[in-house]
């Protein structure tokens, strides 16, 4: 690892490394159907993912006018997580170039960690199914972290667990949660354009914006050179 290399690369999962929205929709709709609720389209699920299972279920119920059953949200969440954990790669694919990119970073000796709002119960089976575990000695999920994205402390806690200097770490994600967390943490960021972002990229203002993982090493170098976006109070 050279002086120009990052101290660590922290990755989001859904929408960054994997196209999981179709699989999330499949599992969610199974749970909704058991409760007599209408299914959501994949496009609608793409709009709702990123904040964790509790918010996903709440938003799904809100789409149908809410619920008079105070226990329904909990039942749906538990059913969804169970179905998803048992079918972790249903309708889910690794984005092009991801495996080559991770292999390259590992070969260069650059530490990697996963910083995701996805619950631990559904993250671990996905990592195992796609053989991602070997790349990520540290995985900090949204239901395990003390704070979760867009709170920058999620990023900083992940960096600390991998013993990385956050000044030279890079956060890689696809959405406002990832990039705003990087800004909040004072960490450089790389934003992919093919995920589930809900805001214009020029508003997010990542250090670097990429359309694919081709030439990812150059993107990392550029992110470190550009540095993090600094918010003014």
Question: H-helix or E-strand containing 189?
Answer: strand 188-192
Is 12 designated active site?
A: yes
Q: Which residue among 12, 14, 174, 178 is the active-site one?
A: 12
CA–CA dist 182, 218 (Å, integer): 19
- CA dist 187 to 13, 174, 178, 224, Å? 18, 15, 11, 9
Phi, psi of 143 (to 5 degrees): -90, 0
CA–CA dist 190, 192 (Å, integer): 7
Maximum Cα interatomic distance, the chain, rounded to a whole number of Å: 59
Helices assigned H by DSSP within 51-194: 53-62, 72-86, 98-107, 120-129, 152-161, 176-185
CA–CA dist 175, 194 (Å, integer): 10
CA–CA dist 221, 2 (Å, integer): 11
Query: Is the distance from CB of 169 to CB of 202 less than 8 angstroms?
Result: no
Residues catalogued as catalytic: 12
């Amino acid at each position: 690892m050279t002086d120009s290399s990052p101290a660590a690369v922290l990755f989001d999962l859904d929408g960054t490394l994997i196209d999981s929205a179709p699989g999330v929709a499949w599992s969610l709709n199974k749970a909704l159907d058991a409760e007599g609720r209408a299914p959501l389209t994949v496009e609608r699920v793409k709009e709702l993912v990123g904040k964790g299972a509790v918010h996903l279920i709440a938003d799904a119920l809100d789409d149908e006018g809410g619920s008079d059953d105070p226990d329904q949200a909990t039942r749906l969440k538990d059913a969804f997580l169970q179905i998803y954990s048992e079918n972790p790669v249903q309708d889910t694919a690794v984005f092009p170039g991801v495996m080559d990119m991770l292999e390259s970073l590992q070969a260069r000796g650059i530490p990697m960690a996963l910083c995701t709002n996805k619950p631990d119960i559904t993250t671990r089976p996905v990592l195992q199914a796609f053989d991602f575990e070997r790349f990520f000695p540290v995985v900090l999920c949204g239901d395990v972290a003390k704070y979760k994205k867009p709170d920058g402390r999620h990023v900083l806690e992940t960096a600390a667990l991998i013993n990385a200097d956050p000044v030279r770490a890079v956060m890689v994600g696809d959405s406002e949660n990832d990039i705003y967390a990087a800004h909040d943490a004072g960490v450089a960021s790389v934003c992919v354009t093919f995920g589930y972002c809900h805001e214009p990229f020029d508003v997010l203002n990542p250090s670097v914006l990429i359309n694919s993982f081709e030439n990812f090493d150059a993107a990392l170098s550029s992110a470190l050179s550009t540095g993090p976006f600094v918010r003014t109070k």
